[in-house]
Amino acid sequence: MRKEKSVRKAPQPSSDHLRLYEGRWVAMIGPRVVGVGKTPREAWTAARRLRPKEDPILRFVRPSPS
């Protein structure tokens, strides 16, 4: 009989934390921002320099409506 591993979601960064990156692309590994750029490629490259063995998830942080 196989034991099922429990899957836990990584905590999401707070919107206050991401507010620092409005209008930019961020590369995330778990809840951590590990790269930032004006383009997805810039964010990916920054993340790969910091964490070369991990694949980040890219996300655009939209500016908040004011």
Q: In this predicted structure, what is the pLDDT of residue 10?
A: 46
Provide the residue type at 34 as one letter: V
Q: In this predicted structure, what is the pLDDT of residue 18?
A: 87
Predicted TM-score (pTM) of the model is 0.74
For residue 44, what are the CA distances in angstroms to 3, 11, 48, 52?
Answer: 35, 21, 6, 10
* One pLDDT digit (tens) per residue for the chain, 66 residues: 555 555 444 455 666 788 899 999 999 999 999 999 999 999 999 999 999 999 999 999 999 886
Q: In this predicted structure, what is the pLDDT of residue 65?
A: 83
Q: In this predicted structure, what is the pLDDT of residue 12?
A: 59
